Structure 1
Amino acid sequence: MKLASLAHGRDGRLVVVSRDLTRATDAFIVVPTLQRALDDWQRYAPALEALAEQLEHGSVPSFRFHEHDCAAPLPRAFARLHAAAWPSHHRLLRQAEGAEAPALAEAPWRRAVSDGFLGPRAAIPADPAASLDLAAGLAVITDDVARGADAATALGAIRLVTLVGEVIRRDRLKPDGIDREGPLAAGFSASLGPVAVTPDELGEAWQDGMVRRPLCVTHNGTLLGRPDPGADLGTDFGALVAEAAQRQALGAGTIVSAGPVSNRGIDGGPGRPVAEGGAGYACLAEARAAESLTTGWARLPYLAPGDRLRLEVKDRAGHTVFGAIEHDVTG
C-alpha cells in the first residue's frame, strides 16, 4: 500500500496512491489524515488496503497523482529521531578533517525537526554564509512502541517507509556531525519522500529491516551517487527503532530516520565516484571529503543558487518507489 498527503491545512489530505504512482483516490471515506490512521492502525489499515486494491482495479473514483501537489506524508510528526547508521560517513568526514575516526558506538543520534517538513518539491533558499548540503537517507514511521521493546518487536511496529533528505549547514558542524551551537541541531531542516510505502509493498527490496535498492542522488543532472542502503550498515531499522525506544516509549507516528547512506570503497577506504565505477555519495560533504583524501583538495562546491538535487529509489523495473525529493536552490 502506498500513501501520500496532499498539501491541505496543517496535516494534509490523505490519499491512497497506485503502485505506479500515476493515480490516487481520496481516503477521507476511511480516515482523513495519516496521523489519524496511525493512531488506530489496526482499525484503519485493512480499509485503506481495500481501497488500494480497488484503485488498482479502477473500481473507485481516482485522479491523476502529481508529486508536486504533496506535502510530506506526515506534514508534522510528534517526534523524529535521526541516527547516523552508516559508520563510514562520519569516519570519512573525520579523516578528511584530520580527526581520529570514531568507534561504531560513537555514531550520533539526535532529536530532529519533525513539526515542519519541507514539501518534496520545495525550493531551498541559499545562504551565502552557509556550506549548504542535502544528505539523502531513509525513514520509517512507527506504530506505538513500548519502552524497552526488542528489535523483532520494533521491526514489527514499522508501518511505513519513505525517503528523507536533510538540508544541512555544514559550516555549523563539528567533524563528529554535532551542531557547534548545541545538541538541538537548529541548522537542520528536512523533507520526506512524496509517498510512504508499507514494508510488504516493497517485496524483496525490504530485507532484514532495510531497503535493498540503490538510493540515487542526482546533482544538476549528474548522478552523484547510488549507494546501497543495505551495505556497510551499522544497524538496521528494527534495531534502530528498538534503540530509540530504550529510554522512552514511542508514540504512533514517530519517525526514525537514518542517513546519509554511505558505502565504503572495495579497499575499505573512501568510496569512489560513480564515474570511476563506484557507488558515489549521498551528500556533497562526503564527495568533498573523498576528494580531499584522494587528491589533496575538495573541488566540488556546496549548494549554490540554480542548483538542483534529486533523491530517488527505483525498483528493478526502473519505476520510482517513493516518488522523488527534488529541491531547487534559490538565491
Structure 2
Amino acid sequence: MKLASLRQGGRDGTLIVVDRSLSRGIAVPHIATTLQKAIEQWDSTRGALDEIYQALTREAALPGSFALDPEELASPLPRSFQFLDGSVYLHHMEKARKARGAEMPPNYKTDPLMYQGLSDRFIGPRDAMRIPDESLGLDYEAELAVVLDDVPMGVSATEARGHIKLLMLLNDFTLRTLTRSELPKGFGFMQAKPTSSFSPVAVTPDELGGAWDGEKLDLPILSSINGEPMGSANTGRDMFFTYPTLIAHAARTRSLSAGTIVGAGAVSNLDARTGYACLAEKRADEELASGKASTPWLRFGDRVRIEMLDAEGASIFGAIDNAIDNAVHRAQAASALATPR
C-alpha cells in the first residue's frame, strides 16, 4: 500500500491512497483525514485503506480518484511528534568524523549514535530547501526511514519489528560548517540540522517483497546533484545496527508515539563503486587522497534528487527533488512586494 498527503487540509495535509504506479490518488476522509490519524489507529484503518489501494491499482478510473501531481504533495507526514535519526553505517561515520578532526565515540559499536531532530515542519518532496547563507556548508544525506505505531518503553529489538508500519526515503539536510562548532559543545545538533525532506509516498513493508526482511531493505538508494549521479549504495548492506535495534535503543527509557519517524543515517557501503549518499563522504575521500576537498557544498540553484527503484526499474516511493534556494533573498523579495509604494 502507498500513502501520501496533499498540501490542502491544514498543517497535517489530507491523506490520500496512491496506486502502485504512482499515477493516481484518492482521498479517504471516511477512513482517516490525515496520515497521523491513520497511524494512530492503524489496526482499524489499515484494512480499509488497503481495500481502497487494491481497487485503485486495479481500476485507474475509480470514482473519486484523480491524476497524481507530485507538486501538490506535502511530506507523507507534514510534521511529526518525533523524528529520530541514527548513524548506523559506520564507514560513513568514521569518514565524516575524520574529515572534521573528531574522534569516534568510545561506545559507537555497542550503542547506536542517534539524535532527535526538527519535526514540527518538513518540506515537501518537491519544495525548495531554503538556507540563509551558502557558507554554512549545506549537504544532503540520502537515507531510508521507518514510521512507527505506538511503541512501549522497554521494547525489545525482536518486538520492535512489529511496530514498523511504513517506510519512506529521507533527505536529512545538514549544515556541515555548523557541525564543527555545535558538536564539540557536547549537547547535540541544533542549528546544523534544518528541516528534512521525505519521499512523495510512504509504503507498507509488504510493497517491498523479499527486499525487506523486517530489519533492513536490500535495495540501492539513488542520488544525484544537478542530474549528475552521486551514488547507488544498498541500504541493507554494511548496516552495523538494524532498524529494530534503533527503535529498541530509542525506547529504552521512554515510549514512542505513533507517527514517530526513525532514520538510519546516510547510506554508505564499503564497496567504493557504489559512490556516495552525501557530499561529506566524497569530500573526505578527496582530502585523504590529495589533502584538500575539491567538491563544493551545495549552492543556491543546485538540485538534489533521491529515489529508489524496484527490480523492474519502477519508482517505489517517488523521487525527492529539492532545489536549493536563498531564504534571505526570498524574505527580502517578499517584504519588498508587501511594502506600500
Q: Same fold (TM over 0.5)?
A: yes
Question: Alignment RMSD, CA only?
Answer: 1.8
1:3 to 2:3 alignment: yes
Tell me how far apart the structure 1 counterparts of residues 307 and 68 of structure 2 sit (CA, whole Å).
17
Seen in structure 2, the aligned counterparts of structure 1 residues 192 and 206 have a Cα distance that, compared at 3 Å, is same
5+ long unaligned stretches in structure 1: 266-271, 273-277
Which residue of structure 1 lines up, in the alignment, with residue 252 of structure 2? 246
Alignment of 1:224-239 (within 5 A): 224-239=230-245
1:80 to 2:76 alignment: no
1:113 to 2:118 alignment: yes
Tell me how far apart the structure 1 counterparts of residues 269 and 102 of structure 2 sit (CA, whole Å).
20
1:146 to 2:152 alignment: yes
Which residue of structure 2 lines up, in the alignment, with residue 297 of structure 1? 292
Tell me how far apart the structure 1 counterparts of residues 184 and 143 of structure 2 sit (CA, whole Å).
19
Q: 1:203 aligns with which of 209, 219, 239?
A: 209
Tell me how far apart the structure 2 counterparts of residues 201 and 60 of structure 1 sit (CA, whole Å).
24
- 1:106 is displaced (CA, Å) by 6.1
Tell me how far apart the structure 1 counterparts of residues 186 and 304 of structure 2 sit (CA, whole Å).
27
Which residue of structure 2 lines up, in the alignment, with residue 68 of structure 1? 71
Alignment of 1:74-223 (within 5 A): 74-102=77-105, 103-105=108-110, 107-126=112-131, 127-174=133-180, 178=183, 182-188=187-193, 189-223=195-229
Tell me how far apart the structure 1 counterparts of residues 225 and 58 of structure 2 sit (CA, whole Å).
37
SS at match of 2:12: coil
Deviates more, 1:88-97 or 1:180-189: 180-189
SS at match of 1:104: coil
CA contact (8 A) 1:80 1:111 kept: yes
Tell me how far apart the structure 2 counterparts of residues 152 and 125 of structure 1 sit (CA, whole Å).
40
CA contact (8 A) 1:172 1:180 kept: no
Alignment of 1:239-278 (within 5 A): 239-265=245-271, 272=272, 278=273
5+ long unaligned stretches in structure 2: 327-341
Tell me how far apart the structure 1 counterparts of residues 135 and 293 of structure 2 sit (CA, whole Å).
18
Tell me how far apart the structure 1 counterparts of residues 280 and 111 of structure 2 sit (CA, whole Å).
19
- 1:108 is displaced (CA, Å) by 2.3
Tell me how far apart the structure 1 counterparts of residues 243 and 24 of structure 2 sit (CA, whole Å).
30
Tell me how far apart the structure 2 counterparts of residues 304 and 108 of structure 1 sit (CA, whole Å).
29
Tell me how far apart the structure 1 counterparts of residues 322 and 200 of structure 2 sit (CA, whole Å).
12
The aligned amino acid for 2:67 is: R
- 1:96 is displaced (CA, Å) by 3.0
Tell me how far apart the structure 2 counterparts of residues 288 and 71 of structure 1 sit (CA, whole Å).
32
Query: If each structure's helix is expressed as a fraction of its own residues, which one has the higher value?
Result: 2
CA contact (8 A) 2:134 2:298 kept: no
Tell me how far apart the structure 2 counterparts of residues 125 and 173 of structure 1 sit (CA, whole Å).
18
Q: 2:317 aligns with which of 307, 318, 322?
A: 322
Which residue of structure 2 lines up, in the alignment, with residue 19 of structure 1? 20
- 1:100 is displaced (CA, Å) by 4.1
Tell me how far apart the structure 2 counterparts of residues 330 and 110 of structure 1 sit (CA, whole Å).
26
Tell me how far apart the structure 2 counterparts of residues 220 and 180 of structure 1 sit (CA, whole Å).
35
SS at match of 1:210: coil
Cα deviations by residue, 1:186-217 (Å, 9 ceiling, x for unpaired): 32121111100000111122124112110001
CA contact (8 A) 2:183 2:189 kept: no
CA contact (8 A) 1:291 1:298 kept: yes
Cα deviations by residue, 1:218-238 (Å, 9 ceiling, x for unpaired): 011111011111111011111
Using the size of structure 1 for normalisation, the TM-score is 0.92
Using the size of structure 2 for normalisation, the TM-score is 0.89
Which residue of structure 1 lines up, in the alignment, with residue 42 of structure 2? 41
